[in-house]
Amino acid sequence: MMEITVVRGDITTQRVDAVVNAANRAMRGGGGVDGAIHRAGGPAVLADCVARFPRGLDTGAAGWTTAGEMPARWVIHVVGPNYTAGERDRSLLLSCYTRALEVADELGASSVAFPLVSAGVYGWPKDDAIAAALETLRASATEVTEARIVAFDAATYDDVLAATRS
């Protein structure tokens, strides 16, 4: 059974098998979590994105690359819906978590660190982003033994922790 843990910190420093990147469709780096992962992982992450995803990824999809210079072995990239731009299909957000776990299983990853997909610059309401993550992680059949939700700030950490206890 998978354990869901919550930590406050920087996803790029997590000592897990894989970190999940909230990427954009182009898969060439960006802001927020995506930019942080590309900066921390170094040029190997971008080079692998270009090689593996020459046309990018669709919303709700997932794929993997090396983690480059980060302590994790892999980055699992997911493309969440952009709520601010009118992409409000919740099934696409749920798909990000489901597909990330499927990719983790394909890789043999037992520990995976997740951000709150789409909750940053893409503007998905935080309470629902937390609910979507927890619903999907709790319902998934996976070989992953630890799903770690990484909150960058104290308020988000408190919100996620409270939601895991309810």
Q: Which residues are catalytic?
A: 34
Residues 6+ apart with CB under 8 A from 16: 71, 72, 109, 111, 112, 113, 146, 148
Query: In the chain, what's the furthest Cα-to-Cα distance?
Result: 42
Rounded Cα–Cα distance for residues 85 and 46 (Å): 25
How many angstroms from the chain centroid is the CA of residue 10? Answer: 13
Secondary-structure breakdown of the chain: helix, strand, coil percentages, each rounded to the nearest 5: 40, 20, 40
**34 DSSP 8-state letter:** H
